[in-house]
């Protein structure tokens, strides 16, 4: 279950219906998916995609997505810090950012054009769709781990275009939920 924090209002949402409704008001789709059959979080990508085939096909037909893959990021992933540096500054894409989390955690900050910045901590079972053009940035949590299904309309569109607003610097990349990181009890990137 995601956790949603509206930082400037010091307000946290934990109820699924409240989260879905609030994010919808910001243009963000949020869903919970359950697999059609049991599948290990470290199963091969094909098995993961097969377990969620129904949901993936539904999204493809609604959103015009043509491909789905599985991204696997671990603390030991080569070049991880360089990769993260690209996405921790406020940016947008000419492509929807669609992620279904299999393992690990991530922290999206969404900056609606007419509303306060909202932080969304996603974990296993969470689907988030950030429409093209939405200002946002992304951090990992303390576990520095995320395995996720991604859907694409056109992979070429998924390049970060920076706002250079500096707004991201005003918000700490703090995850609020429990994270299984023995050496860092409070989730922090
Ligand atoms: Fe992005």
The pLDDT of residue 184 is above 50 = no
Q: Mean pLDDT throughout 113-127?
A: 96
- CA 149 to ligand 1 centroid distance, Å: 14
Half-sphere exposure at residue 93, Cβ-oriented, CA atoms within 13 angstroms: 23
Distance from the alpha carbon of residue 92 to the mean position of ligand 1, in angstroms: 6
How many angstroms is it from 122 CA to the middle of ligand 1?
Answer: 14
Alpha helices in 3-146 (DSSP H): 16-25, 45-51, 53-63, 80-87
Question: Strand pairing partners for 3?
Answer: 121
Cα of 99 from ligand 1 centre, angstroms:
10
pLDDT-derived band at 186, boundaries 50, 70, 90: very low
What DSSP state is assigned to residue 31?
Answer: E
Q: What value does the mean pLDDT of the chain take?
A: 91
- The CA R_g of the chain, rounded to the nearest whole Å, is 16
The token pair at 153 is 């309309």
- pLDDT at 158 > cutoff 90: no
User: According to the model, what pLDDT value does residue 55 have?
Assistant: 96
Residue 113 has which token pair?
Answer: 């054009």
Q: How far is the CA of 147 from the centre of ligand 1 (A)?
A: 16
* Rounded percentage of the chain residues whose pLDDT exceeds 90: 86
């Amino acid at each position: 279950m995601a956790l949603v924090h509206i930082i400037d209002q010091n307000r946290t949402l934990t109820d699924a219906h409240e989260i879905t409704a609030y994010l919808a008001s910001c243009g963000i789709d949020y869903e919970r998916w359950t697999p059609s059959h049991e599948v290990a979080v470290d199963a091969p990508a094909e098995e993961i995609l097969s377990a969620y085939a129904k949901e993936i096909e539904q999204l493809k037909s609604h959103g015009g997505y043509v491909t789905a893959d599985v991204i696997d990021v671990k603390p030991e992933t080569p070049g991880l810090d360089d990769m993260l540096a690209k996405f921790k500054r406020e940016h947008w894409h000419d492509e929807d950012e669609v992620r279904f989390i299999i393992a690990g955690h991530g922290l999206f900050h969404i900056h609606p054009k007419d509303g306060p910045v909202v932080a969304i901590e996603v974990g296993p079972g969470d689907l988030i769709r950030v429409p093209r053009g939405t200002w946002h940035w992304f951090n990992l949590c303390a576990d520095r781990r995320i395995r996720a299904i991604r859907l694409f309309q056109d992979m070429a569109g998924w390049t970060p275009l920076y706002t250079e607003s500096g707004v991201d610097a005003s918000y700490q990349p703090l995850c609020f939920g429990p994270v299984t990181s023995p050496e860092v009890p409070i989730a922090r990137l």
